[in-house]
Structure 1
Amino acid sequence: LGGVILFIIVGLLNIHTMMQNLLVAERHPRLHSYSEIGGKVFGKWGKIAVDVPIWIMQMSTCCGYLYFIAEQMDTVICSYTGGEDGGGYCGKKNLYIMLMTIPALPISWINSYTFLSYFTIFGIGMAMVGMV
């Protein structure tokens, strides 16, 4: 019961936040990001107060994702190269993280990912084929 109540509360908070965002978008149509909203409302320090938590969240999500994928790559590559006992290529998570960071950095500098949507559609299609 507690989980359901908490779920409803979080849903209501999300609806309230969405309505607030729509009001801001109506009143200030030239603001396109939370950072710009923070700067408009609270000045320089408001922009910083919004940018820092977003940056921390994005960095931690990206680092967690890179670690998770490196862990999976290490498991697969280790098992396909003979395993730990057979002299396989094991325990190279840090190498895989570094190798994945090389393409991840330039991709992170892209301002809009709309042109990548076609690749996403292809990727989702391939994932669906793989599941079937």
Structure 2
Amino acid sequence: MDLLKKLAVIMVGMLFIFCRTVTSVPNTNVTNVLCNSGEYTHGDPFAISLAYVLADLETVTSASKDYDYYNISPYPNAFAYGHAACNKTLTSPDCTSCLGAAKAAMLGSCPSRIGSRSVLHDCKIRKMYHPLFAKHSANLGTEMRPVEH
């Protein structure tokens, strides 16, 4: 009987160790990327505002409530707006990692576009030249077109 108790304790201990070492990786498969047809030049003040917004989205979203974050650039001469969100089941570092992949997909598919959105399985990121008035606005996709591959 003592042998059975010892085996049970050992099995529970091993199970505890294995459960604590399990990790997950965010699913960064691209669902879609949409681009606005308008463009900006790299010398444009909008480019500076956009760089601020994207860096902020990538780092702050994972620390935000429910991994859902809206922002605006602080530069009044050319405002840029953004939104990012992650699957709530991700860890904070996984959210940041996923948003980095979403940003890379968006910038790679929509270079110099004034508005674009990248949706991955576990996260999404969006940049715009006009404010996002409502979180669940029906017209958030206006002027966006799918990327042709």
TM (norm. structure 1) is: 0.28
Structure with the greater relative contact order (CA < 8 A, sep ≥ 6): 1 or 2?
2
- Relative to its length, the structure with more strand (as a share) is 2
TM (norm. structure 2) is: 0.26
